[in-house]
Structure 1
């Protein structure tokens, strides 16, 4: 209802948006992402919840040639490490064994067949990686060891909250830490000018043809969202819904405050 009322194609800062705003941060991530396509290895992406990690990776993954890369996206991380490998096996078309040793052998054989026989690189993206069991971090380097560790045949991206980086710096995970070839930390858009550009881009690409927010409203939104696109989007969506029954075609400051209260 509110999309039609405001003449929008999709929700600003919503999951349907494809044209992500970038003032350099996403270009940096894209460069590192391509590094690990050209030379497979382990990458680490951290950032606060709602900063846009998953949206950025989804955009990058969607652009990949499916004949050259097979992306396996795994957000369910609050399980045992054997379950994680069974999920990977299923995604690669391998019948998951209940024995870990056989499961590893089967997966690694399939990966080698994909790379050598089909020139197809597996890209394993593990979201919410801060929830992974610590044993997973300890033994992942052994799983990635191919041919006496002479070959790198799979790219793995660990994606999680900022604390994930500190976890991987601990001594028990030194082997994995030493394998990390690309690190990216995404930060909230807290600067006033940058935040205004973010919101302006989101509204324009959604189809908005007129000004919805006053400068004071933009500041209310910036402070309430703490520069996190997901939270800013939720506030905007709620405010638009509240505006419809009032017949408003803009979002006054008091309506934004009401939306913020609704979401608390």
Structure 2
């Protein structure tokens, strides 16, 4: 409807996690690099957490794209609300492993043989579980046991657990002590800063075909940021409907007032907490060769190379 009016090829603010629209902020780059590092070095368990709408699924889709380019076999669990039998059946099917028996023992035997074949060919395999905060403690323990599939030197299956902050609480459950001890890397997605929100909006318009010139006034983007709190999903919602409003009014510029009207229509109050500004110490992925300590947040950690090349935790 409004695409031709603004000279766009497609909707720039579609909520679908299209990897083409991945806006590489420093935090997103670090999160993606953390996941890739964990897979390349066969770390076993990697954790990715973040608030709803901060780009976790988009990062995972970018990871899947990278995995395909690298020839890495992947199983992507996008709906973890499955029974144990359904979970294992889906995983094997996504890996392309024929499964005839519902018995877990035979399923694990078949998976182990397939992983060993992959390893002998020099290939790797990744299990990615999105919305992992919805997994039960029992299912998380079953997933942990998959890391027992290993050679004498390395893990055969790399596992990425992604979810909302509730996942952080779950892995700190005393019942999941052994799982927590196996998490060697932990990355987080974060809300955008005001500067990043400006860049995010302009970049999405560019990818959608905008040839230049201003569509959103700087004041309008500031209002978007205030109401969205730096959350990309809400930024997309506000921007798309503001574009529709501008089109209806035959205005080539989205004004501050138009964004305020959209925010009012969706009952969006100004965010109580501003998105964090970029600092020199925060936001680094956790790269550790020992368990993430309980109650220590990744934003308070960084890493450095020791003399022997091993990552050491610094606070």
Q: TM-score, normalised by structure 1?
A: 0.90
Question: How many Å apart are 1:164 and its aligned residue?
Answer: 0.5
Cα pair distance change 1:220/1:182, threshold 3 Å: same
The offset of 1:17, in angstroms, is 5.8
d(CA) in 1 for partners of 2:32, 2:164:
19
SS of equivalent residue, structure 1 residue 78: coil
Corresponding position of 1:175: 178
SS at match of 1:63: helix
Q: Please, which of 197, 201, 209 is the counterpart of residue 199 of structure 2?
A: 197
Distance 1:158-1:132 versus aligned 2 partners, 3 A rule: same
- Correspondence 1:103-122 to 2 at 5 A: 103-116=107-120, 118-122=121-125
Matched, 1:25 2:30: no
8 A contact 1:17–1:206 mirrored in 2: no
Partner of 1:159: 162
Match of 1:2 in 2: 2
Give the aligned partner of residue 188 of structure 1: 191
Cα distance change on mapping 1:17 and 1:123 into 2, 3 Å: closer
Residue 82 of structure 2 corresponds to residue 72 of structure 1: no
**Residues 1:217 and 2:220 aligned together:** yes
Count of residue correspondences: 262
Map 1:225-264 onto structure 2 (within 5 A): 225-264=228-267
Alignment RMSD (CA, Å) = 2.1
TM-score (structure 2 length as normaliser): 0.76
Runs in 1 of length 4+ with deviation above 3 angstroms?
A: 13-17, 64-67, 147-151, 261-264
Gap regions ≥5 residues in structure 2: 268-315
Unaligned runs of at least 5 residues, structure 1: none
